[in-house]
Amino acid sequence: MKTAIVIMSDPKNGSEEALGRVFNALALASECKQKGDEVAVVFNDTGTRWPAELSKLSHPANGLYNSVRDVVQGSSCGCADVFGATESVESCGVSLKKDHALTGTSGLLSLRRHVSEGWNTVVF
């Protein structure tokens, strides 16, 4: 089984819901890894702000994030630009993806690729 996990929630809104979404996204990634599935975690939209938060040792989901860090495939470059997360994404070692050229942007991470390749796609 192939599962693409797209994280779009915004850590800046300070809500428990945003934390719950990212926690459940990472928990799904962990479960998929444990079962031997092919799994990819990507950050899109305001979710491009998450790598900086999750990399903090004091963050409650830091350990879980580190346990699935090897399946994090990247962050949308154009989204990171729009939401002011480009530098923080790069400093966390998450690659900026721009495989979907879109006029007026620096390029976006292609979500279509996962869908076209038959991945189960879950958005948090």
Residue-range domains of the chain with CATH: 2-123 (3.40.1260.10)
Strands, E assignment, the chain = 2-7, 38-43, 72-76, 96-97, 120-123
Q: CB neighbours of 15 closer than 8 A, spacing ≥ 6?
A: none
- pLDDT confidence tier of residue 82, bands split at 50, 70 and 90: very high
pLDDT at 14: 74
Q: CB neighbours of 84 closer than 8 A, spacing ≥ 6?
A: 49
86-106 residue pLDDT tens: 999 999 999 999 999 999 899
pTM to 2 decimal places: 0.94
20-78 residue pLDDT tens: 999 999 999 999 999 999 999 999 999 999 999 999 999 999 999 999 999 999 999 99
d(CA 64, CA 41): 13
